[in-house]
């Protein structure tokens, strides 16, 4: 397939672009490089600002794609609370500009478990109520609805993949997580253990969980990559649109992450116990049954230490992240 990947210089986008190429697909990446790294993708690339309608239309006029996988977005929850308009513009407007020109083209969208809001059940199924608690989640849910309306009007199918916590790196340590500033637990814990960063602050130790720290569902970035291909194949094959959780179904606490990083690096993670972070639910765990049933997808990276080991190797090999 000839596939357009937006945001293909970012963490999940670049790993997915390579995964698609390794599976024989022709991949074109566009990215405005505001967060992405030019060094993260070595295939066909166009620097493109997706908020520039004329530029987007001009670019798409010159290409024929069988599918689009749209990663480009802003994804910091805290920033979205402070700058909601920036999030609504960056996360919603480009989808309109792309869809205007991608008549009938299947659209795979990076959605998030943040579309659910505060969980009312131990694991989250796709039909759980959607009440996002921050602008980031609101913008992602808005795009899901936009895509559903487009689909209902007969202008193209879509798959919304509701990621849980993307984690890990390519096992050859060539691609991994490099955010500036880094806010995510696993990179910060690994960097702290390797002496590349100061002590980690654990956000709350008094949660209503077995060890008092928050529980998340950490899904390896290569598993996320394979979910995108499975979703696109479904759509291209004429399968119905929908939204799917992409997670392991297993909850892991912050303390369990720190223990695993300690085992895999051979050094304890230096940490301090801090306050709860605003907007953090105590527990976010997927029920991934629908993706298994309808996309024939399930997480393969289910051993925590093996997953963490890939992140450790990435940070050891690239203490400063990407060089460009």
Question: Which residues does the annotation mark as catalytic?
Answer: 136
DSSP 8-state assignment for residue 277: P
**Which candidate, 324, 243, 322, places its Cα nearest to that of 290?**
243
Phi, psi for residue 228 in degrees, rounded to 5: -65, -40
Work out whether 183 is an interface residue with ligand UDP (CB under 6 A): yes
Q: Which of 131, 35, 117, 16 is nearest to 75 (CA)?
A: 35
Instruction: Give the range of 19-27, 85-93, 183-191, 234-242 binding ligand UDP by CB under 6 A.
Output: 183-191
Instruction: Tell me if 277 contacts ligand UDP by CB under 6 A.
Output: yes
- The helix (H) or strand (E) run that includes residue 200 is strand 200-203
Name which position in 65, 76, 203, 322 contacts ligand UDP (CB under 6 A): 203
Residue written as tokens 């020109």?
Answer: 101
How many chain residues bind ligand UDP (CB under 6 A)? 14
Tokens for 224, please give them: 């996320």
Q: Does 185 bind ligand UDP (CB under 6 A)?
A: yes
> Which span (39-47, 169-177, 190-198, 200-208) binds ligand UDP, by CB under 6 A?
200-208
Q: Is 205 one of the binding residues for ligand UDP (CB under 6 A)?
A: no
Distance of closest approach, residue 220 Cβ to ligand UDP, in angstroms: 14
Of the candidate spans 60-68, 127-135, 178-186, 295-303, the one that interacts with ligand UDP by CB under 6 A turns out to be 178-186
Residue showing the smallest CB distance to ligand UDP in the complex? 214
Q: In what order do the strands lie in the sheet with 252-253?
A: 252-253, 215-216, 283-284
CB of 132 to ligand UDP, least distance (A): 13
> Per rule CB under 6 A, is residue 76 in the interface with ligand UDP?
no
Under rule CB under 6 A, residue 216 binds ligand UDP = yes
Q: Which residue, chain included where needed, has tokens 């291209």?
A: 236
In angstroms, what is the minimal distance from the CB of 217 to ligand UDP? 9
The closest of 169, 182, 176, 168 to 75, measured between CA atoms, is: 182
Bridge-based pairing state of the strands 107-112 and 26-31:
unpaired
Rounded CA-CA distance 132/49 in Å is 27
CB of 26 closer than 8 Å to CB of 2: yes
Q: Which of 143, 193, 254, 285 binds ligand UDP (CB under 6 A)?
A: 254
DSSP states of 282-295: SEE-B--HHHHHHH
* Minimal distance, residue 69 CB to ligand UDP, in Å: 20
How far are the Cα atoms of 51, 101, 102 from residue 61, in angstroms, in the given order?
16, 8, 9
With contacts defined by CB under 6 A, name the span among 11-19, 49-57, 139-147, 201-209 that binds ligand UDP.
201-209
Least Å distance, CB 236 to ligand UDP, is: 30
Q: Which is nearer to ligand UDP, 22 or 121 (CB)?
A: 121
Tell me how far, at minimum, the Cβ of 310 lies from ligand UDP, in Å. 16
Give me the phi and psi of 244, to 5 degrees please: -135, 140
Interface ranges with ligand UDP (CB under 6 A): 165, 183-185, 188, 200-203, 214, 216, 254, 277, 280
């Amino acid at each position: 397939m000839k596939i357009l990947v937006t945001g293909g210089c970012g963490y999940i986008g670049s790993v997915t672009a390579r995964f698609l190429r390794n599976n024989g697909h022709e991949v074109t990446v566009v990215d405005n490089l505001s967060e992405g790294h030019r060094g993260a993708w070595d295939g066909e690339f166009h620097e493109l600002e997706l908020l520039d309608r004329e530029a987007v239309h001009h670019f798409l006029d010159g290409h024929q794609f069988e599918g689009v996988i749209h990663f480009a977005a802003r994804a910091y929850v805290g920033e979205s609370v402070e700058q909601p308009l920036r999030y609504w513009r960056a996360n919603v407007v480009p989808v309109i500009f792309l869809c205007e020109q991608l008549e009938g083209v299947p659209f795979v969208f990076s959605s998030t478990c943040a579309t659910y809001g505060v969980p009312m059940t131990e694991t989250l199924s796709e039909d759980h109520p959607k009440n996002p608690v921050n602008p980031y989640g609101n913008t992602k849910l808005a795009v899901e609805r936009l895509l559903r309306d487009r689909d209902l009007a007969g202008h193209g199918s879509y798959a919304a993949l509701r990621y849980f916590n993307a984690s890990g790196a390519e096992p050859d340590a060539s691609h991994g997580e490099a955010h500036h500033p880094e806010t995510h637990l696993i990179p910060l814990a690994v960097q702290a253990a390797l002496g590349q960063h100061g002590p980690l602050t654990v956000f709350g130790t008094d949660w209503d969980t077995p060890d008092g720290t928050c529980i998340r569902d950490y899904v390896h970035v290569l598993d996320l990559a394979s979910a995108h291909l499975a979703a696109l194949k479904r759509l291209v094959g004429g399968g119905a649109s929908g939204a799917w959780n992409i997670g392991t179904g297993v909850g892991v606490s912050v303390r369990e992450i720190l223990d695993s990083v300690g085992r895999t690096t051979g050094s304890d993670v230096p940490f301090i116990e801090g306050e709860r972070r605003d907007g953090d639910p105590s527990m976010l765990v997927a029920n991934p049954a629908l993706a298994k049933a309808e996309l024939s997808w399930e997480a393969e990276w289910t051993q925590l230490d093996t997953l963490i080991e890939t992140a450790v190797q990435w940070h050891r090999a690239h203490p400063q992240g990407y060089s460009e």
